[in-house]
Amino acid sequence: MSHGTAAAPHVHQAPTGFWKKYIFSLDHKVIGIQYWLLALTAVFVGMGLSLYMRLRLAWPSGEFPFFGGAQMTPEMYLALVTMHGTIMVFFVLTTAPQGGFGNYFLPIQIGAADMAFPVLNMLSFWVTFVAFVVMILAFFVEGGAPIGSWVAYPPLSAVGAIAGPGQGMGMNMWIISIGIFCLGALLGALNFIATTLDMRARGMSMMRMPMTCWVWFVTAVLGLLAFGVLLAAGILLLLDRTAGTSFFVPGGLVISEQLIDHKGGSPILWQHLFWFFGHPEVYIAILPGMGATSQILAVFSRKPVYGYRAMVMAMCGIGLLGFLVWGHHMFISGMSPYTAMVFSVLTLSIGVPSAIKTFNWIGTMWGGQIRFTAPMLYAIGFVSLFISGGLSGIFLGQPSLDLYLHDTYFVVGHFHLVMGVAAIFGMFAGTQYWFPKMFGKMMNETMSKIHFWVTFLGVYAIFMPMHYMGIVGHPRRYADTSGVDFLAPLQDMHVFISYAAMITIGAQLLFLFNIIWSMMKGPKASDNPWEATTLEWSIPSPPPFDNFGGRVPVVYRGPYEYSRPGEAKDFVMQDEPMK
């Protein structure tokens, strides 16, 4: 069935007008670049916010530009925490790896002319874009940007302006933006699943798909199951705030000596719904990075992916287990202590597929002929960061140890390494790897390497010390260290981290400059500059409107025919017929 569909690709004409071609385009490649640009914008906004957080943490009484020459208030700091987390998780980690690279390369890698539903695809991007605009506008409404961190726990987030700054219109905007984002993500997920199942070229069986296609597929399934729950939870929270319902607010609350007019709700219910989404979201963020890493390690080691079948199973295992561990975010919330024990066993079980992946990444390079191109450097960086960030999860997944470490900087260090910068290294790697295909130009190698080195050392200098602060007991989401005596000795470390952050953030400007410079002045890319085997490298750079230029690709081989004995070259393209 699927093969029959792909054999007769949609024939749609390339649009000629500016709006149809670049703005409301139905072309998955344009939409992919739109997602990628949205994430690029969002990551610089999110990083800018973190820069201000770091300034306040290192120099609490300092006066910084854009704050009217005044000190940053604690409520502003918390608004930055909230917006930084939200923008990074939703508009960067969920947007670029899946919406960006997935949109651009899934159809090409499986040999299709476009996604299954091009109009839906355009809609999902523009819906996501509107969500971003609403989120940014939350900075400028009365009462200020929302405060609640990216988890927005009620009652704080549910009772309105009486609970303090950021709980008024800003919080409504936050919820509405997240709701809109969920819609876009659901539409996108449907499209990815349908495309993967139905649009594969003749010969492209599931087990001949590149690892990247597998991760986009699994991620889409996770998204389809997770975002619906968040959407529902968001609607309930909005109703609590605006329509007088009490899903998440219990009776008898008193704030500023005023009785709150709610009763019968449960704050814990929100945590269950939020984390039922929130934990799979972690994998939505990291799986595409894992796929890109697997792909890139194989290409530049000139070897097949080690244990392809085990990698696919590990990926599916992570996806499944990812839905069964949300309670490890709630060990100390007051839920039943028996459930905590079940969740901890399931959580630590996720270490198993993660261990398989790490083992196989090293296995992929073992015995190879490694080419240290820029994309390869980021992929190796990804593996190192994934090991470092993943292992601290072994502490946090145990309720016994969480009794001390919960909500300390140990957690901040852990998730920033693993789902933050490891995932972002996946994006760096993807950008470097696919840039020649997307824009027809090579990126500047020197700038790329300088950027890699500063960023790789920089992120370790930022996030490793946070673990040490967490072991001392430093709580998260503190505007400064003045309120608690035992934090005073950690102030020097805050200053160190802030310097490291400033240098690392500075290096990102070089990355941005490299992108712009290379788009304009970069040397022209050939069809297959990396000597890779998957289908996107069998077509021109950049690809024509219908991807394969009227040709119907047929696949004869698996995705990783590198250094196969008896072949003349050290790679054989997937669409090269068997002799």
In terms of CB distance, is 242 or 258 closer to other proteins? 258
In terms of CB distance, is 372 or 513 closer to other proteins? 372
**118 makes contact with other proteins (CB under 8 A):** no
Number of residues that bind other proteins (CB under 8 A): 116
Q: Which of 306, 326, 439, 548 binds other proteins (CB under 8 A)?
A: 306
Interaction residues for other proteins, span 238-257 (CB under 8 A): 250-255, 257
In terms of CB distance, is 89 or 180 closer to other proteins? 89
Q: Which of 87, 89, 236, 383 binds other proteins (CB under 8 A)?
A: 383
Structural contact between residues 271 and 329, judged by C-beta atoms closer than 8 angstroms: yes
Beta bridge partners of 562: 571
**475 makes contact with other proteins (CB under 8 A):** yes
**150 makes contact with other proteins (CB under 8 A):** no
**457 makes contact with other proteins (CB under 8 A):** yes
- Report CA Rg, the chain: 24
Q: Which of 141, 115, 110, 111 is nearest to 35 (CA)?
A: 115
Burial of 263 (0-12, 13-18, 19+ CB in 10 A): exposed
Q: Which of 5, 41, 526, 563 binds other proteins (CB under 8 A)?
A: 563
- DSSP 8-class letter at 543: P
In terms of CB distance, is 25 or 388 closer to other proteins? 388
Minimum gap (Å) between residue 370 Cβ and other proteins: 5
Which tokens hold the place of 475?
């709580």
Q: Which of 390, 406, 389 is nearest to 398 (CA)?
A: 406
Minimum gap (Å) between residue 237 Cβ and other proteins: 14
- DSSP 8-class letter at 331: T
Q: What is the C-alpha to C-alpha distance for residues 573 and 353, in angstroms, rounded to an integer? A: 29
Minimum gap (Å) between residue 564 Cβ and other proteins: 6
**142 makes contact with other proteins (CB under 8 A):** no
Q: Which of 12, 133, 242, 369 binds other proteins (CB under 8 A)?
A: 369
Interaction residues for other proteins, span 255-294 (CB under 8 A): 255, 257, 259-260, 265-268
Residue ranges of alpha helices (H) inside 243-307 are 267-301
**446 makes contact with other proteins (CB under 8 A):** no
Minimum gap (Å) between residue 466 Cβ and other proteins: 11
Minimum gap (Å) between residue 283 Cβ and other proteins: 17
SS3 sequence of 203-254: CCCHHHCCHHHHHHHHHHHHHHHHHHHHHHHHHHHHHHHHCCCCCCCCCCCE
Q: What is the C-alpha to C-alpha distance for residues 56 and 20, in angstroms, rounded to an integer? A: 45
In terms of CB distance, is 210 or 304 closer to other proteins? 304
Instruction: Give the max Cα distance, the chain.
Output: 83
In terms of CB distance, is 128 or 358 closer to other proteins? 358
Interaction residues for other proteins, span 388-417 (CB under 8 A): 388, 391-392, 394-395, 397-404, 406-408
Q: What is the C-alpha to C-alpha distance for residues 195 and 555, in angstroms, rounded to an integer? A: 17
In terms of CB distance, is 186 or 340 closer to other proteins? 340
Angle at 553 between CA 551 and CA 555, to 5 degrees: 165
Q: What is the C-alpha to C-alpha distance for residues 244 and 365, in angstroms, rounded to an integer? A: 58
Site string for other proteins, 161-190 (x = CB under 8 A): --xxxxx-----------------------
In terms of CB distance, is 23 or 482 closer to other proteins? 482
Which tokens hold the place of 165?
């700054």
Beta bridge partners of 259: 254
Minimum gap (Å) between residue 512 Cβ and other proteins: 24
Minimum gap (Å) between residue 183 Cβ and other proteins: 27
Binding range to other proteins, per CB under 8 A, among 230-238, 483-491, 509-517, 544-552 = 483-491
Which tokens hold the place of 197?
């199942």
**366 makes contact with other proteins (CB under 8 A):** yes
Q: What is the C-alpha to C-alpha distance for residues 203 and 111, in angstroms, rounded to an integer? A: 10
In terms of CB distance, is 111 or 144 closer to other proteins? 144
Structural contact between residues 429 and 293, judged by C-beta atoms closer than 8 angstroms: yes
**207 makes contact with other proteins (CB under 8 A):** no
Binding range to other proteins, per CB under 8 A, among 19-27, 130-138, 216-224, 354-362 = 354-362
Minimum gap (Å) between residue 229 Cβ and other proteins: 21
In terms of CB distance, is 309 or 521 closer to other proteins? 309
**328 makes contact with other proteins (CB under 8 A):** no
**339 makes contact with other proteins (CB under 8 A):** no
Cβ of 273: how many Cβ atoms within 10 Å?
20
In terms of CB distance, is 367 or 544 closer to other proteins? 367
Q: Which of 145, 340, 442, 535 binds other proteins (CB under 8 A)?
A: 340
Interaction residues for other proteins, span 47-86 (CB under 8 A): 73-75, 78, 81
Q: Which of 71, 245, 333, 491 binds other proteins (CB under 8 A)?
A: 333
Cβ of 270: how many Cβ atoms within 10 Å?
25
What is the enclosing helix (H) or strand (E) of 195? helix 169-198
In one letter, which amino acid is 286?
I
**450 makes contact with other proteins (CB under 8 A):** no
- DSSP 8-class letter at 167: S
**321 makes contact with other proteins (CB under 8 A):** no
CA atoms within 13 Å, Cβ hemisphere of 366: 8
Q: Which of 301, 448, 534, 538 binds other proteins (CB under 8 A)?
A: 301
Which tokens hold the place of 446?
């020197």
In terms of CB distance, is 225 or 450 closer to other proteins? 450
Q: What is the C-alpha to C-alpha distance for residues 194 and 190, in angstroms, rounded to an integer? A: 6
Q: What is the C-alpha to C-alpha distance for residues 218 and 518, in angstroms, rounded to an integer? A: 33
Interaction residues for other proteins, span 484-543 (CB under 8 A): 484-486
CA atoms within 13 Å, Cβ hemisphere of 258: 10
Angle at 231 between CA 226 and CA 235, to 5 degrees: 150
Q: Which of 12, 371, 488, 513 binds other proteins (CB under 8 A)?
A: 371
**203 makes contact with other proteins (CB under 8 A):** no
Q: What are the φ and ψ backbone dihedral angles of 408, each rounded to 5 degrees? A: -105, 175
